């Protein structure tokens, strides 16, 4: 029988040893690896683990520890390994190979392990093709179009959007909704930043724009750090482990450069955003909140018809989606509200200041 109970402190410690062993370069875990893995473990299990002081573990030992867990649980553990290795630049081939060994020992055959191996080999173009195909395109079907209310057709989220005036009008109409509603809050977010509406020239695709509703529902900023939080939250909120593709994509875009421009998302590694002050805690809390949504709401947030929910009070939508509030630790670490100027990029703040209707 598959054990679905919360892990004991001993199990958490053993899993941490396995993850640290799998992703550690020859010189030991980097500071960013240790910080991120500590924060994720603390957020998900409320257990403090010093990742810099763990004894190594063989893959077979970890397999014994997790023998009572189901395949999805073990796959999620492997994804923590992949996250731990993907923040390395460059990614040593020995680390990628070792993560593959641990995955095999756990009986996990995972696309993201192979993608990380391509990163280590320097085959970034092939890695992105694999990530786009296995993480997005192969999951695409007509049912994903219905919640978008667009006449434009595309094969996956990163297709360039086509003009759709009726869609732009639908988004613009949210201005007339009451001030406490989800739709009005999203419209305000667009107005404040001078974002082009989906369906209008310069607007994001209707599919990628789904994540803007999540910015408001989960209360994340829209600068690059906020995008890391938002996509990490939505990726983990997907009940299908392939939602990890969103996490892999934004880490590649904004932390390592392993992923280049995709849709309206542009690579920006001038600063290592995941290494900024407090970001390990903020990312870990986004994963915690996403996990709660996956378990309580059980629906990929990219499949939700937010236009149907737009007239509802924002707090009611948050309750429906089962999204917990940010932790005090994440707030103390600097996670701003979606309407806090600290959650905007410099260009977005300039747009807000330059609004003709600004007070």
- Give the relative orientation of helices 244-251 and 124-135 as an angle to the nearest 10 degrees: 150
pLDDT of amino acid 226: 95
CB of 298 closer than 8 Å to CB of 56: no
The strand pairing partners of 87, in sequence order, are none
The strand pairing partners of 181, in sequence order, are 313
pLDDT of amino acid 252: 87
Three-class SS of residue 100? helix
Same domain, yes or no: 82 and 178: no
Three-class SS of residue 181? strand
Whether residue 270 has pLDDT greater than 70: no
Three-class SS of residue 262? strand
Same domain, yes or no: 205 and 314: yes
**Which carries the bigger pLDDT value, residue 16 or residue 347?**
16
Question: Measured between alpha carbons, how far apart are the two ends of the chain, in Å?
Answer: 62
Residue partners of 353: CB distance under 8 A and separation at least 6: none
Whether residue 350 has pLDDT greater than 50: yes
Domain assignment of residue 97, yes or no: yes
Tokens of 345: 């990029």
pLDDT of amino acid 186: 98
Lowest mean pLDDT, pick from 127-141, 269-283, 306-320, 323-337 = 269-283
Same domain, yes or no: 300 and 162: yes
Lowest mean pLDDT, pick from 147-161, 171-185, 220-234, 240-254 = 147-161
How many domains, in total, are found in the chain?
Answer: 2
**Domain C-terminal end among 122, 150, 180:** 122
Which residue matches tokens 């406490």?
180
**Domain C-terminal end among 70, 92, 122:** 122
Domain assignment of residue 258, yes or no: yes
Same domain, yes or no: 107 and 182: no
pLDDT of amino acid 359: 40
pLDDT of amino acid 152: 78
pLDDT of amino acid 266: 57
Domain assignment of residue 2, yes or no: no
Domain assignment of residue 249, yes or no: yes
Q: What is the mean pLDDT of the chain?
A: 92
The residue range of the domain holding 302 is: 142-353
Same domain, yes or no: 31 and 113: yes
Same domain, yes or no: 171 and 254: yes
Domain assignment of residue 24, yes or no: yes
pLDDT of amino acid 196: 94
Same domain, yes or no: 220 and 349: yes
pLDDT of amino acid 304: 97
Task: Please name which of 154, 116, 156 lies closest in space to residue 138, comparing C-alpha atoms.
Answer: 156
Percent of the chain with pLDDT over 90: 77
Q: Give the C-alpha separation, 245 to 132, whole Å.
A: 8
**Which carries the bigger pLDDT value, residue 140 or residue 180?**
180
Lowest mean pLDDT, pick from 124-138, 170-184, 323-337 = 124-138
CA dihedral in degrees (290, 291, 295, 296; nearest 10)? -40
Q: Give the C-alpha separation, 248 to 32, whole Å.
A: 16
Same domain, yes or no: 146 and 117: no
pLDDT digits (tens, 9 = 90+) for 42-61: 999 999 999 989 999 999 99
Average pLDDT over residues 201-213: 93
CB of 30 closer than 8 Å to CB of 255: no
Average pLDDT over residues 129-136: 90
Domain assignment of residue 359, yes or no: no
Which residue matches tokens 């392990």?
113
Lowest mean pLDDT, pick from 253-262, 274-283, 295-304 = 253-262
Same domain, yes or no: 24 and 151: no
Q: Give the C-alpha separation, 207 to 209, whole Å.
A: 5
Q: Give the C-alpha separation, 255 to 224, whole Å.
A: 10
CA angle 43, 45, 46 (to 5 degrees): 70
**Which carries the bigger pLDDT value, residue 17 or residue 135?**
17
Same domain, yes or no: 166 and 240: yes
**Domain C-terminal end among 122, 150, 181:** 122
Domain assignment of residue 289, yes or no: yes
Same domain, yes or no: 117 and 41: yes
Average pLDDT over residues 306-328: 98
CB of 32 closer than 8 Å to CB of 275: yes
Same domain, yes or no: 212 and 78: no
Domain assignment of residue 95, yes or no: yes
pLDDT of amino acid 358: 46
What are residue 265's phi and psi, to 5 degrees?
A: -90, 130
pLDDT of amino acid 271: 55
């Amino acid at each position: 029988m598959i054990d679905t109970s919360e892990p004991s402190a001993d199990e958490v410690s053993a899993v941490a040893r396995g993850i640290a062993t799998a992703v550690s370069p020859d010189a030991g875990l980097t500071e960013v690896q240790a910080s991120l893995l500590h924060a994720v473990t603390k957020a998900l299990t409320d257990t403090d683990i010093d990742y810099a002081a763990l004894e190594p573990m063989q893959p077979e030992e970890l397999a014994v520890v997790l023998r009572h867990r189901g395949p999805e649980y073990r796959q999620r553990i492997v994804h923590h390994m992949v996250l731990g290795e993907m923040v390395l630049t460059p990614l040593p081939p020995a680390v990628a190979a070792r993560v593959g060994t641990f995955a095999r020992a756990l009986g996990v055959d995972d696309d993201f392990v192979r993608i990380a191996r391509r990163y280590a080999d320097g085959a970034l173009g092939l890695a992105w093709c694999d990530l786009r195909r296995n993480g997005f395109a192969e999951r695409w079907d007509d049912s994903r179009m219905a919640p978008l209310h667009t006449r434009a057709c595309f094969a996956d989220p990163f297709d360039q959007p086509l003009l759709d005036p009726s869609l732009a009008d639908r988004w613009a109409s949210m201005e007339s909704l009451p001030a406490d509603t989800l739709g009005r809050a999203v419209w305000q977010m667009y107005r404040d930043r001078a974002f082009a509406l989906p369906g209008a020239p310069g607007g994001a695709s209707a599919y990628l724009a789904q994540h803007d509703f999540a910015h408001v529902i989960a209360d994340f900023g829209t600068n690059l750090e906020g995008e890391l939080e938002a996509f990490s939250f939505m990726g983990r909120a997907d009940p299908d482990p392939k939602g990890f593709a969103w996490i892999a994509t934004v880490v590649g875009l904004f932390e390592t450069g392993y992923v280049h421009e995709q849709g309206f998302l542009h690579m920006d590694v001038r600063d290592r955003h995941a290494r900024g002050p407090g970001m390990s805690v903020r990312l870990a809390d986004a994963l915690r909140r996403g996990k709660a949504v996956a378990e309580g709401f059980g629906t990929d947030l990219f499949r939700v018809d937010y236009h149907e929910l737009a007239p509802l009070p924002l707090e009611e939508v948050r309750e429906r989606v089962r999204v917990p509030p940010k932790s005090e630790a994440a707030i103390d670490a600097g996670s701003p509200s979606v309407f806090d100027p600290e959650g905007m990029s410099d260009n977005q703040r300039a747009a807000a200041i330059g609004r003709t209707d600004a007070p």
